[in-house]
Structure 1
């Protein structure tokens, strides 16, 4: 094919937004930062410890926690709560640093006098208490040794704040049943501490709730998954549900419209686990685990995930890379067996199953990489669950290599630690394919409300869909036979006057599809540049 014909193939390339989003689910919050800190407290004149106080502004700062330090620990030490303990006479500077993103810090200098001799440091702390069986608060006590220790003040902490609170005087108030570890730590700089393990029972817990999580409980289907509608972009979870919505959710519990499309199911699982971590509400954990059970059930034996489950008699039953549907589930599975991103909160029994599911997913990714004329290339947005071959989806999304979806597949492979030779070969082959099919020196402009190709020296684009090597038996075989392998193509909807099937230029398809779909973009640009270089350096390739 001559150069002029090649250039004409790319007329009308566009960067338009596709019909669904592949954005991961994220929670956002407006943080109020600390603007000023004032240290209150006077000089020490009697050689005894003094509790310093803080004024933190504004009063509604989101995170008021701070870090205390002193300029010279041979003169005095300071506890995490601001207890200043003298060791020798002299001058000391106390610094307080905000733990939020404001980086605000403040200093105050104190004169210390009245210290008559070297301090006697604590060398042992004995905690006295009993298991709580009635759910009531209990006062813990300590014996600080030696008896002549200069500073016998201790600080108290509890291992599970959602299960119990403890005051600076050692009064423990249970909030939930379970086991907690209580720690008493000397404040004299000795570093001495001791622990006490307490079993708590008899508590009737009252759990906090989070609106977003409550709405996810409401819309979870009986099989453990979630539907894409009515909250395709998750925004509807953020508000109170109407009486009609509550009625609809309850009456459709047994619907089988459950999916991993557009961030669903794995997205709700992540939000629920975050809510569980914040509240200890067991309903959130149970719902998340039911969702994970659903994901295990919907995985094919060969490792792929369909878009919907139970399976439907349409393209959604294929192994789905589109919108990173399968990839996002794979990331969740990896977080389970690596016990990170709140997935450490679920039952230990899920770990091995998640590892197996993930490994099978990687294998099917390797097995579905398309080979054209003996060369490995990329992936289709969806592959047949049995033959693993590229297959059609909607009538304008025909079997192809995807310049968009393949990027997320490669990113997942590149995220693996200690990649196998198979994985390395798959990544190298895909990057080589991206390099070979890029389109240079052209860009799109909107002129008269339509997309028009213009010369743009140095600009780089990729097609959304590229032809495969063999379309024998395809309903549009005759049209595809006018293409060579690895050529971009475009499609109208079958119902459009332009008719279905591949076209060589975007100008040949309907105005609606030309301007209503993301046929071209720069999706692989960073992948084949800095990301690929960093990946090779990291793995010594």
Structure 2
């Protein structure tokens, strides 16, 4: 073989080699994606219906997502994916969707986007025709099927839907087909909010923490969560309504009435503080004290009298937090300054923006 022919063969071999390497690189680019440890665990714990639990046993999911799971553990968890515990309580499902959307932006790992799509579809499917969301889905046993504003459950979902509709906070990465679905979900959700704003003697006030999903009337959930007006949850609802662009008269009226209620229902010159008390279990208690300049709202107000109520596990409303058992006094948010920033800054700024 001549020297010229040898050179020609070598060049062909080299070109073939580069072609092969290029093909391998393209395959690697499609299959070798960066991963996020917490996101990987979220994929494992996602239920078959698309949502996530708030805890497994007595362990909250935040702790589980930071754990290093063996392959055997992952297999066992995935085998339990049919568990009927998917929920929007305690930020479950909404926090995973937000985290995974961010993780996808940073890693471009398609598994994360796929999980977000599945989770959003879960929320869309879970919405009632009247626009509300239950605390759990599809488990609607006991109070789990009630329309739930408690702990901002429904508002967390609506904020995600609004983000999708606006293409914000990394949800612009979803396929375009999700946007009109989210817009419709928001429209239905707002309708539910407006219908559930409590009227007392014909006058709009604020919202209860949970509602009967059929009658849209305020409802009791846990023993210490009676049908009542809820200050904390009403703040979240009001702030969501202020996100809506070009709001109509109904939204404006709903917000004006809510602000008026917050103003007349505030409690001044008092605070709710922890104290050391060796006589009590865990050596502490929580008491209502005078504190000049402080502004608070009670968590719950009686619908008819608008007086603060405090409820223990006996489900009997009391006039003071000191009257309920110590376990409930220290274990629940009975007072808070939830509406302060809303009244002083956010609502005035919103009015100016109209």
- One fold, TM greater than 0.5? yes
Change (3 A) 1:135 1:428: farther
The normalised TM-score by structure 1 is: 0.57
Change (3 A) 1:393 1:135: farther
Q: Distance in 2 between matches of 1:537 and 1:513?
A: 41
State the partner residue of 1:455: 290
Change (3 A) 1:267 1:457: closer
Q: Does 1:210 align with 2:41?
A: no
Q: Secondary structure at the match of 2:185?
A: helix
State the partner residue of 2:299: 464
Q: Does 1:493 align with 2:313?
A: yes
Q: Does 1:529 align with 2:344?
A: yes
The normalised TM-score by structure 2 is: 0.86
State the partner residue of 2:97: 269
Structure whose residues are more often helix by fraction: 2
State the partner residue of 1:393: 221
Q: Distance in 2 between matches of 1:175 and 1:263?
A: 39
Q: How far does the alpha carbon of each residue in 1:251-284 deviate from its partner, in whole angstroms, 9 at most, with x for none?
A: 2111111011112212212222222222222222
Map of 1:201-350 to 2, 5 A cutoff? 205-230=31-56, 232=60, 234-242=62-70, 245-350=73-178
Q: How far does the alpha carbon of each residue in 1:28-85 deviate from its partner, in whole angstroms, 9 at most, with x for none?
A: xxxxxxxxxxxxxxxxxxxxxxxxxxxxxxxxxxxxxxxxxxxxxxxxxxxxxxxxxx
Q: Distance in 2 between matches of 1:444 and 1:294?
A: 39
Change (3 A) 1:493 1:355: same
Q: Distance in 2 between matches of 1:176 and 1:387?
A: 56
Given that 1:232 and 1:262 are in contact with CA atoms closer than 8 Å, whether structure 2 keeps it comes out as no
Deviation at 1:347, TM superposition (A): 1.4
Correspondent of 2:243 among 385, 401, 415: 415
State the partner residue of 1:433: 261
Q: Which stretch shifts more, 237-246 or 248-257?
A: 237-246
Q: Distance in 1 between matches of 2:353 and 2:298?
A: 30
Map of 1:32-51 to 2, 5 A cutoff? none
Given that 2:288 and 2:321 are in contact with CA atoms closer than 8 Å, whether structure 1 keeps it comes out as no
Deviation at 1:174, TM superposition (A): 5.9
Structure whose residues are more often strand by fraction: 1
Q: How far does the alpha carbon of each residue in 1:178-224 deviate from its partner, in whole angstroms, 9 at most, with x for none?
A: xxxxxxxxxxxxxxxxxxxxxxxxx7532222211111111111111
Q: Distance in 2 between matches of 1:369 and 1:376?
A: 7
Deviation at 1:303, TM superposition (A): 0.7
Given that 2:162 and 2:182 are in contact with CA atoms closer than 8 Å, whether structure 1 keeps it comes out as yes
Change (3 A) 1:253 1:375: same
> Which runs of 5 or more residues in structure 2 are unaligned?
1-18, 278-283
Q: Secondary structure at the match of 1:458?
A: strand
State the partner residue of 1:374: 202
Q: Distance in 2 between matches of 1:438 and 1:536?
A: 21
Q: Distance in 2 between matches of 1:208 and 1:468?
A: 53
Change (3 A) 1:452 1:285: closer
Q: Secondary structure at the match of 1:457?
A: strand
Structure with larger Rg: 1
Give the total of aligned pairs: 327
Q: Distance in 2 between matches of 1:306 and 1:135?
A: 54
Query: CA RMSD for the aligned pairs?
Result: 2.1
Q: Distance in 2 between matches of 1:175 and 1:232?
A: 40
Given that 2:33 and 2:108 are in contact with CA atoms closer than 8 Å, whether structure 1 keeps it comes out as yes
Q: Secondary structure at the match of 2:31?
A: coil
Deviation at 1:524, TM superposition (A): 0.7
Change (3 A) 1:282 1:459: closer
Change (3 A) 1:527 1:242: same
Q: Secondary structure at the match of 1:454?
A: strand
